[in-house]
Structure 1
Amino acid sequence: MAGSIQTDVNAAKASHANSVNENYRGPLVTVTLLFFMWGFITCLNDILIPKLQQVFTLELWQAMLIQTAFFGAYFIVSLLYFVLSITKGDPIRRIGYKNGIIIGLVVAAIGCALFYPAADQLSYTFFLGALFVLASGITFLQIAANPYVTILGPAEGAASRLNLTQALNSLGTTVAPIIGGYLIFGAVNAQDTGADSVKMPYLGLAAALLAIALLIKIAKLPNIQGDGDGDGDANLSPDAGALRYRHLVLGIICIFAYVGGEVAIGSALINFFRLPEIAGLDETQAGHFLAFYWGGAMVGRFFGAVALSNMRNTSYKYLIIAGIAAVVFVLLYTIYGMDEALIVLGLIALNFVVLMLGRFIPSKTLGYFAGTVVVLLLFTIFAEGAVAMWAVIAIGLFNSIMFPTIFTLAVKGLGVHTSQGSSLLVMAIVGGAIVPPLQGLVADLSGSLQLSFLVPLICYLYILYYGFVGSKVKETAI
């Protein structure tokens, strides 16, 4: 009798898995819009930093408080979420992922709208407050959307799906410096050094976020309320069970290190490209090369989505990756010319070689990618001119698979504690609030922006450790 029951259970699970494969492709496409939008919004901070630094005559570390306000919200909101989950029960398990996503979008839209009065009042503190509200919405969005993507399909393809959606996130970060630089810094070129140029871009973002919230509301998305065994059990006893997983705890530190390092580098790039010994570019030109940095992350995540997928035929993986590389080369050649296209193609070839070293195993690939970034940062610190400039741009290509891969490795095997673990991982995004000001402080104290890249170098050394050692699944606390 017990065997018969187990057979029925297995059949039900198999039926559910087939249903997931057939019915979740549409919802996955819809959810990728969210990843594009928060990538676009996050990367606009890299444009806001030099803009508001000019408007309010700030030191670099003060301008970096933009990232502190933004990513500080990740920590505070996620911490409140975690405390609530262990005292009252997991909110996402109660309201469902779909409703959680809608709440995040509405709050983020309110934060964008607050930029208008902040510009009218010409208050840097008001701007920081608006960024905090905006990031609070994105935080709740990430708590709901990241694990939602891992659930929308078979478990073995979770890393590939999250890499694919993060590639759309990177598309947002790629176009944001170009569009944001034109809309926000265009006013500077017109002798308008005030803050009014941020009003309409952020009002437009508010309208777009509300439109996506409406789309999510009316779309036929699965309103999943839980993860793993016991789906939909909103009355699960509250506890801090996720913290008993060692690989999750180490993964929380790894997300802190990764986001801190990535954001610190991106935040410093415009000023870095303006250095006479590096490239001597103006803000608009630097914004275009900043797009190369974030564009590399997008291309690399498409590679990662293919390489880490459960596609059994390796030859097909190679063909798809080669096709993506060819499209990138043609686009760059058409837009920028042969020199830039060949340089990027060479970096893509290096990325592919390192991907091969990882043998398409997520943990090993993460370790090798982090090791490569360490080497590139050494060139950034100690070289000059085009070598230093392209070395730091190449980091974007190797950052590509890190966040989705770390996230997937960290939540692996958490079962009903997945959304709780997700809140803790999103809380660790506070690294983006802490590491950039530290790099700014090192730059101010040492008088060398290049030397300050030692700060993110430390972050990537830890990521290397997590990839090769810390990501192994263990169900005992540290």
Structure 2
Amino acid sequence: MEHYSQAVPMQGGQTQTGGNTGPLIIVTILFFMWGLLTSLNDVLIPHLKAVYTLTYVQAMLVQFCFFGAYFIVSLPAGMLIKKIGYQNGAVAGLTIAAAGCALFYPAATSGYTLFLIAFFVLAGGITILQVAANPYVTVLGDPQTASSRLTLTQAFNSLGTTVAPALGGMLILAGGVMSSADLAKLTTEQLSAYHATQAASVQGPYLVLAAALLALAVLFALARLPKIVDAEQADGESAGWSAVLQHRHLVLGALAIFLYVGGEVSIGSFLINFMGDPKVAGLSAADAAPFVSYYWGGAMVGRFIGFAAMRYVSPGKALAFNSAAVIVLVLTAIFSGGHVAMWAMLAVGLFNSIMFPTIFSMALNKLGPLTGQGSGVLCMAIVGGALVPFAQGLLADTISLQMSFLVPAVCYTFILYFGLKYAGMYSEK
């Protein structure tokens, strides 16, 4: 999963010249953990769908609660961190995320609603954590090498998203789920026992994750970290949201972020069910889960390719090329079958790689003192991850799962337009 967070201008007063290795390792582990936690949703959605016999729209409530937290918690998180400080904010975020993971234990015996509450609490903790921990990467060392440190932590975030589906497949999906025909033969008592057993398969893994997050909270609380101070508000930044929204490229960029996150999350959420379709690969959920790692792993590889290629190609052209490639791949997956459809959909991850940071930077171009507020607008647009999967779920329930991928295809069409419209944005240097 993308490392969804905003980059607001910061100033960090470093209290130490050496000894940054330990704190940097802790921060890097944080990036890995929230990548892993976010990507695990792609395994849990088909599992919970099968266990509770949900429609696709009902199953997408997982992403609605998870990404809805980004929208609801982002602004309060900023206020909290301003009050208690960045280090305490990171500890609070880790503790809340651990509480969210711990809630999965009672959820297994209580039903789907408590699972949804657990997802919201977990994502709320991750949101606070991102707002708090992000600036530490830039201040833990020489400012001249900050970008290389960001690349390193970003790579570990991608590593988390790549590892999670395979790990979740082994730990959560290994037991398999019964078909609807077999479920119909069970008595009420047998059905209740089956649901309890299946739901309980998430208890162990999420208790381990809760313990790991609490251990990280302790490490972060004890670490000697530089004090970070918010940059003084620049002249004109108090001009208000109306001044920000007058910048057309920011407004279009926010829509592009909304649709990109929505499209990416939608595809990831439906991948296991898509590969389980007899017309595609007919894989069981446990067999399909490791392949989701190729989707997220492709994004990790694509970042390094994009980093090299974008030294020579303008961001707008790179964005347009990648979104066009995604549209072709998604349409191939929709209108073909078998392994061609499966691998076409998995290959989308490779071209997703550069999209989020590229759209983000293009949308903030030349905003000057309004950059901070512009970042806030873009961060709130991440709510696309909560809403777009709903639209695809509705189409999957009414038409077919394969045709429902037209929803993300339409999302990437707008991103293609945005890339082409601002292809020459950085040409004047």
Gaps of 5+ in 2: 1-11, 179-193
Alpha-carbon distance between aligned partners in 2 of 1:209 and 1:237, rounded to the nearest angstrom: 37
Q: Which has the higher helix share?
A: 1
Query: In percent, how many aligned pairs have the same letter?
Result: 57
Alpha-carbon distance between aligned partners in 2 of 1:147 and 1:411, rounded to the nearest angstrom: 18
| Equivalent residues in 2 for 1:121-160, closer than 5 Å | 121=110, 123-146=111-134, 149=137
Aligned equivalent of 1:172: 160
Aligned equivalent of 1:278: 280
* 1:262 matched to 2:272: no
Per mean C-alpha deviation after superposition, the further-off stretch among 103-112 and 19-28 is: 19-28
- Where 1:381 maps in the other structure, the secondary structure is helix
* Matched AA of 1:251: G
Distance 1:223 1:301, change over 3 A: farther
Q: Deviations over 1:398-438 (max 9, x none)?
A: 11122233334444556666554444333222111111121
Alpha-carbon distance between aligned partners in 1 of 2:392 and 2:66, rounded to the nearest angstrom: 17
Of 208, 211, 228, which aligns to 1:224?
228
Alpha-carbon distance between aligned partners in 1 of 2:338 and 2:321, rounded to the nearest angstrom: 26
**Counterpart contact for 2:254–2:378, Cα < 8 Å:** yes
Aligned equivalent of 1:436: 389
| Equivalent residues in 2 for 1:416-455, closer than 5 Å | 420-446=373-399, 448-455=400-407
| Equivalent residues in 2 for 1:82-93, closer than 5 Å | 92-93=81-82
* Matched AA of 1:117: P
**Counterpart contact for 1:174–1:292, Cα < 8 Å:** yes
Q: Deviations over 1:280-327 (max 9, x none)?
A: 1111110111111111112222334x42xxxxxxxxxxxxxxxxxxxx
* Matched AA of 1:372: A
Per-residue deviation, 1:112 = 0.9
**Counterpart contact for 2:13–2:226, Cα < 8 Å:** no
**Counterpart contact for 1:17–1:153, Cα < 8 Å:** no
Aligned equivalent of 1:319: none
**Counterpart contact for 1:439–1:452, Cα < 8 Å:** yes
Q: Report the RMSD for the aligned CA atoms in angstroms.
A: 3.5
Of 93, 106, 119, which aligns to 1:104?
93
* 1:54 matched to 2:50: yes
**Counterpart contact for 1:70–1:135, Cα < 8 Å:** yes
**Counterpart contact for 1:17–1:154, Cα < 8 Å:** no
Distance 1:29 1:419, change over 3 A: farther
Aligned equivalent of 2:413: 461
**Counterpart contact for 2:39–2:161, Cα < 8 Å:** yes
- Where 1:277 maps in the other structure, the secondary structure is coil
Per-residue deviation, 1:245 = 4.8
| Equivalent residues in 2 for 1:189-204, closer than 5 Å | 193-204=197-208
Per-residue deviation, 1:55 = 1.6
Aligned equivalent of 1:184: 172
- Where 2:281 maps in the other structure, the secondary structure is coil
Aligned equivalent of 1:69: 65
Q: Deviations over 1:16-36 (max 9, x none)?
A: 999999997775554222221
Alpha-carbon distance between aligned partners in 2 of 1:298 and 1:224, rounded to the nearest angstrom: 29
Alpha-carbon distance between aligned partners in 2 of 1:416 and 1:116, rounded to the nearest angstrom: 46
Per-residue deviation, 1:156 = 9.3
**Counterpart contact for 2:169–2:287, Cα < 8 Å:** no
Per-residue deviation, 1:142 = 2.6
- Under a length normalisation based on structure 1, what TM-score does the superposition of the two structures give? 0.73
How many residues are aligned here? 396
Alpha-carbon distance between aligned partners in 2 of 1:18 and 1:138, rounded to the nearest angstrom: 25
**Counterpart contact for 2:138–2:149, Cα < 8 Å:** yes
Alpha-carbon distance between aligned partners in 1 of 2:146 and 2:315, rounded to the nearest angstrom: 11
Aligned equivalent of 1:303: 305
- Where 1:225 maps in the other structure, the secondary structure is strand
- Where 2:228 maps in the other structure, the secondary structure is coil
Aligned equivalent of 1:346: none
**Counterpart contact for 2:15–2:227, Cα < 8 Å:** no
* Matched AA of 1:262: E
**Counterpart contact for 1:178–1:291, Cα < 8 Å:** yes
Aligned equivalent of 1:294: 296
Alpha-carbon distance between aligned partners in 2 of 1:423 and 1:460, rounded to the nearest angstrom: 23
Gaps of 5+ in 1: 1-15, 308-354
- Under a length normalisation based on structure 2, what TM-score does the superposition of the two structures give? 0.80
Aligned equivalent of 1:401: 354
**Counterpart contact for 2:14–2:139, Cα < 8 Å:** no
Of 338, 357, 363, which aligns to 1:385?
338
Per-residue deviation, 1:262 = 0.6
